[in-house]
A and B are shown apart, each in its own frame.
Chain A
Amino acid sequence: MVFIMADEQAGGAGAKLRDRLASKGVQAEYVSLENVEVRPCRNCGYCSKKNPGHCAVRDDGDWIYPKIAAADAVVVVTPVVFGGYSFKVKRVLDKLGLVMDSHYAVRHGELVKGGRPGRRFRLFAVGVGALADGEGEVFSTLARETIRIVQGLGGAFLAGPEADGRLLDEIASEVAKA
């Protein structure tokens, strides 16, 4: 199962991607973040020290994080905001540690986190919008760093403001391969 979460400011690219995946026989669950509220991470230490893997706050994270943990691949569809994720997408990603192993490991001579328990996390970040000079590179680097820190797989894709069909097909093929 592929879990797609999308900020609707990305012009409906998330739903289009779900349809492309379905046409390739890949089951995907699509969640629009339009009416989803994940409260901000307050770095209170509850999830790391008092109740590992659980947030102290009750909100839509209660059902989103289990889906992220269970998915074969997670696709994040976001407008690119100053080279990063949108506010709504970042609110969800800020608590990604809830579904990751908090132990440390060393990979390629550098300290990283334990990653997803049991199997490698697969993350695909799709950035949508008209990009300023250098913005695509910053977005791609940001996604790659996230994948690296959780010892994951996946990648970043940049779609123009219209997120055209050919590119969505390419993304769907990459996700399907994962």
Chain B
Amino acid sequence: MNALIVNMSPRAKGTSAMLAGMCVSHLERGGVPVERLDLYPALQDPAMLYAAVGRADALVLSGPCYINTYPAEVTAFLQGMAAHPDALHGQRLYGMIQGGMPTAHTHESGLRQLELFARKCGLTYMGGFVMGMGAMLDGAPLDKLFNGKTVKRKLDAFFDHIQRGEPSPRQLYLDAQFKLPAIGWRLLALAANHSINAQRRALAAGKPVAQ
């Protein structure tokens, strides 16, 4: 089996890229030949991009969630693949999507779109992984998440499914969701808002703001 892992974020070192990198390492350790691409530069070279898609038996697409689904460039990518049927031969398709909000349903539409794409284009959708609070990481390792250990364990199980060519159940990422009672979320919102306000005050005072 050959796998193509695509980082579908405009950022080469953000959280989607980090997840793509984890997937690459996991599959390589398992002896799977892996090719990795960053989508945004690859879209500038469609012949190279769709040739890579054509070589793969499994596609793993990792991207950020912008307004509840993947960014516009991913739509261009999916339409591009649909327009290159010669590159499509029933590949297994897995998705990863991560965004700032902690709830899976906020980001899940991205995976559902991949499933529709697969159905329309004769690929085999095998499931995906939704990770909340990805913006908090900003590309840093998972252990910086409140639920980092759980997410890591569930992601490893997800990567195992990819390695074995199996479907990955939705429950896997639902079990990795960080859960708090409403009061917990209120405290978290308060802390985040305090940090935003401090940043705005620093900006207004002409002080440097941490990136």
Contacts and interface: CB of A to CB of B under 8 A. Distances in A.
Count class of interface residues, chain A: 35 or more
A90 B211 contact: no
B200 A52 contact: yes
A83 interface: yes
A123 to B, nearest CB: 10
Count class of interface residues, chain B: 35 or more
Contacts of A82: 75, 78, 113-114, 116-117, 120
Interface residues of chain A: helix, strand, loop or mixed (majority): mixed
Given A45-B211, A103-B193, A149 B68 contact: yes
Interface residues of chain B: helix, strand, loop or mixed (majority): helix
B116 A52 contact: no
Given A40-B72, A111-B103, A141-B109, A94 B182 contact: no
Nearest to B14: A43
A177 interface: no
Contact of A146 (B68, B117, B199): B68
Interface string A135-168: 1001001100110010000000000000000000
B10 interface: yes
Interface string B64-104: 10111101110110110000000000000000000001110
5 contacts: A52-B200, A83-B112, A109-B182, A111-B102, A145-B68
Given A84-B75, A132-B119, A133-B119, 12 more contacts: A42-B11, A43-B14, A81-B79, A82-B75, A82-B120, A87-B76, A111-B103, A138-B109, A138-B112, A142-B69, A142-B109, A149-B68
